[in-house]
Amino acid sequence: MQSKLDYSWRSYKISSGQDGEVYTEVPCRTDRRVRRPDVAYLTPELVAQFGDVPTLPQSPPLIAEIVSPTDIAEEIFLKAQEYLDSGCLEVWIVFPESRWIMIMTQTQKLTFNQGSTISTQLVLAGFSVAVEELLA
């Protein structure tokens, strides 16, 4: 799942000419601790600003977290809110077993399931993919 999201965001970034960087498990500082989101996208401006720092001083603007069977739902939602409170604009929470994806921003929460096409809301403009393609 992590590699599919990484590949999808990276391929789209390249084909659309939007630049920036896609990372897996890049350390970032939230307002509470250092986290490592499963997949993250940094805009070209943030890549230029932070370069190759060992730990980003804020959350990336676009993050995906993949829920494992041992994760506790409340903790996942609190982690997403922590990212949003620390500079992230959009968090994708991926539920592979129940086969749906939630997007959280500061102002909305959207859910997508099989048969849906999921699209970025605020970051990596124009990216969309069928939910089945990511969850297959």
- Tell me the per-residue pLDDT of 78-94, one tens digit each, with 9 for 90 and over: 999 999 999 999 999 99
Mean pLDDT for the chain overall = 95
Among candidates 130, 32, 115, which has minimal Cα distance to 81? 32
The pLDDT score that the predictor gives to residue 61 is 98
Answer yes or no: is pLDDT of 120 > 90. yes
- Tell me the pLDDT tens digit for each residue of 40-60: 999 999 999 998 889 999 999
Q: Which residues pair with 92 in a beta bridge?
A: 64, 103
Contact 80, 90 (CB under 8 A): no
pLDDT at 52: 82
Give the pair of three-digit tokens for residue 87.
């500079």
Give, as one character, the DSSP assignment of residue 56: B
- Does the structure show a pLDDT above 90 at 27? yes
Question: What is the Cα–Cα distance from 62 to 39, expressed in whole angstroms?
Answer: 8
How far, in whole angstroms, is CA 62 from its chain's centroid? 4
Element (H, E) at 128: strand 128-130
pLDDT at 112: 97
| Residue 38 CB contacts under 8 Å (≥ 6 apart), including other chains | 2, 5, 24, 25, 63, 64, 65, 66
Q: Provide the CB-side half-sphere exposure for 106 (13 A, CA).
A: 8
- What is the phi/psi pair of residue 21, to 5°? -140, 145
pTM of the model: 0.95
Q: Quick one: average pLDDT of 98-115? A: 96
d(CA 66, CA 94) in angstroms, rounded, equals 5
pLDDT value at residue 25:
96
Does residue 136 carry a pLDDT above 90? no
